Amino acid sequence: MRIVKTGSYLPDTIVTNDDLAEYLDTSDEWIQKRTGIKKRHVAKGESIESMAYKAVEDLFLNSIGTVVDRNDNSYLTDKANCGETIDFIIVATMSHKSSSPGIANLIQARLGITQVFCLDISAACNGFIAALSVANGLLKTPTYRRGLVIGVEKMSDILDWTDRSTACLFGDGAGCVLVEASDALVYAESISSDGAHGEDLKAPLEQAKLEMNGRGIFNFVSREVPKNILSTISKAGQSIKAIDYVLAHQANKRLLGMISKKTGITEDKFLSNIDDVANTSAASIPLLLDKVVKDGIITLEGMQLVVFVGFGGGLNWGSIVTLV
């Protein structure tokens, strides 16, 4: 599997820590010190499907090296124009409130493409890693050559905005990648779950009442994630020194520092946008990836060795080491 393009979408409304402190017993200082978060984007009157679709539009319109006519909407359905045929759409999300149709199907309908394998994945903050893993498996078969992998969340819908311990942590957004079958020179993954501790993060969709044992999750990440990363680097036949960048789930800046310390991968290699977007669950890694591609840090030329790593509710966690 090779990631060939990226896209993202963040809703316009921004809620700062000070905005939350106006009605919650919290402060900008507490939130920044404990998490690194300064603000989050919140989708007002906008559906999860619309956010995912805007990220896909961004992928085709604004991706590096792609020339398209912005006034011509046919780029999404005109295969010759957008240069691709898509064989599958996989969407990772934990905040889509309807079990059918899935977001992947809704995006397929909007794109107007047929003969596509559509699949939604619910694996909380590890959703995008799980989705990439499934995409990689599909691309190993002769049936599938190219697909869209999307992470999208409307966490604002499932949060209890009166609970200071969770309201300050999450945000909304969508990110996506176009992946193709390729003889990747490096690809290794390790993905794990621990359903016995699933109660550490509960998000019943019928009521806005996400509950999290923050300390419990922090400890599980500290215990499991660094060794998971080291095992994947070793499976890939690579060394810590060879890693160019780590794109980790953006849950807490202190966690990134802890993972750096425990793995020996220096902190400057951990890319981050948590200050601007907070924890966007399954959208977090593709949102960050698209940002650093647009910033020119990741070039998508297949020359940079990166670790993608996710962790969160379920409990689920995992990492992928590959060239991007």
Q: Looking at the annotation, which residues are catalytic?
A: 125, 249, 279
User: Which one of the spans 161-169, 231-239, 265-273, 288-296 is the region binding ligand ACO (CB under 6 A)?
Assistant: 161-169
124 lines the binding site for ligand ACO (CB under 6 A):
yes
How many positions of this chain bind ligand ACO (CB under 6 A)? 23
26 lines the binding site for ligand ACO (CB under 6 A):
yes
User: Among 101, 116, 102, which Cα is nearest to 148's?
Assistant: 116
Round to whole Å and give the CA distance between 8 and 235: 31
156 lines the binding site for ligand ACO (CB under 6 A):
no
111 lines the binding site for ligand ACO (CB under 6 A):
no
251 lines the binding site for ligand ACO (CB under 6 A):
yes
313 lines the binding site for ligand ACO (CB under 6 A):
yes
CA 155 from centroid of its chain's CA atoms? 13
Task: Provide the minimum distance between the beta carbon of 244 and ligand ACO in the complex, in angstroms, as a whole number.
Answer: 24
168 lines the binding site for ligand ACO (CB under 6 A):
yes
Single-letter amino acid code for the residue at 307? V
User: Among 147, 77, 142, which Cα is nearest to 116's?
Assistant: 147
Task: Provide the minimum distance between the beta carbon of 158 and ligand ACO in the complex, in angstroms, as a whole number.
Answer: 9
Length of the chain measured in residues: 324
Task: Provide the minimum distance between the beta carbon of 254 and ligand ACO in the complex, in angstroms, as a whole number.
Answer: 7
CB atoms within 10 A of CB 199: 12
Task: Work out whether the CA dihedral 42, 44, 49, 51 comes out positive or negative.
Answer: negative
User: Which one of the spans 44-52, 59-67, 95-103, 250-258 is the region binding ligand ACO (CB under 6 A)?
Assistant: 250-258
The contact set with ligand ACO (CB under 6 A) reads 26, 30-31, 34-35, 124-125, 164-165, 168, 201, 214-215, 217-218, 221, 251-252, 255, 279, 281, 312-313
